[in-house]
Amino acid sequence: MRDLYDYIKDTANIDFEHMGITETDNVIFSRLAYLNLSDFTGKTIEFAAKHIEQYEDDAKNIIKTKELLFALAQTKRFKYTYIEKASEIVSEDAGSAFYAVKFKTDKEHSFIAFRGTDEKITSLYEDAELAYKFPIPSQIAALNFVKEAIKENNERLYIGGHSKGGNLALFSFVFLNENARKRIIRTYNNDGPGFPKELIKLIIKPDIAAKITNLAPE
């Protein structure tokens, strides 16, 4: 079975200006959001791969994600991608946690990736909140992150995330105003929870749904 590394090898010499962001690129960027890239804002993926620290006690998924970062740094497609902005918010009572990172792929496009559930108790708590509370603090933080990105320049954006991060991507897109939504090319929900059915009927109109892709593993 082909995997991300096959894709990375196949597209290694194709930069984003010649082939735009794909569904698989979305999966890659959403995976990278599990790394702490805050120290590398303004730097390239190549730079981050050379300087990110490795720890023996890293969780298995973090080790695998760092290996992915190292592979990306060897390609023309990803090595020059900038880690333009990162934001982490943990509430004082540790009741909510939020992390987002913005990747600049070329002059006119960026990808915003939201982190999903990790090993923190906070993340598990917020996952449970999604079942009965709306909105949760992370959803508001995600919306504000995208709004700020839109204000900063005239580029067009892709948004995505895995697990809870996919839900944050959906929320941040759906609750933008109409003009701001025009700046979003596509929103990816990678195996994340959606919204209550009643809410979907009210807000997910055809023009909004056309820009949303839900992906789930077989």
Q: Give backbone dihedrals phi and psi of 147, rounded to 5 degrees, phi first.
A: -60, -45
**Got the DSSP string for 24-55?**
HHHHHHHHHTTS--GGGTTEEHHHHHHH----
Mean pLDDT of 156-185: 95
Angle at 149 between CA 206 and CA 28, to 5 degrees: 75
Mean pLDDT of 109-128: 73
pLDDT tens for each residue of 48-79: 999 999 887 788 999 999 999 999 999 999 99
3-state secondary structure of 122: helix
Instruction: Tell me: pLDDT of 118 over 80.
Output: no
Q: Which of 99-113, 125-139, 189-203 tops mean pLDDT?
A: 99-113
Identify the pLDDT of residue 198. 66
Q: Please give the order of strands across the beta sheet that includes 184-190.
A: 43-44, 82-90, 97-106, 109-114, 156-162, 184-190, 212-215
User: How far are the Cα atoms of 23, 53, 116, 186 from residue 174, in angstroms, in the given order?
Assistant: 19, 37, 18, 11
Residue with tokens 């708590």: 125
Identify the pLDDT of residue 147. 97
What confidence category does residue 124 fall into, taking pLDDT thresholds of 50, 70 and 90? Answer: low
Identify the pLDDT of residue 133. 62
The answer to whether the pTM exceeds 0.75 is: yes
Mean pLDDT of 33-43: 95
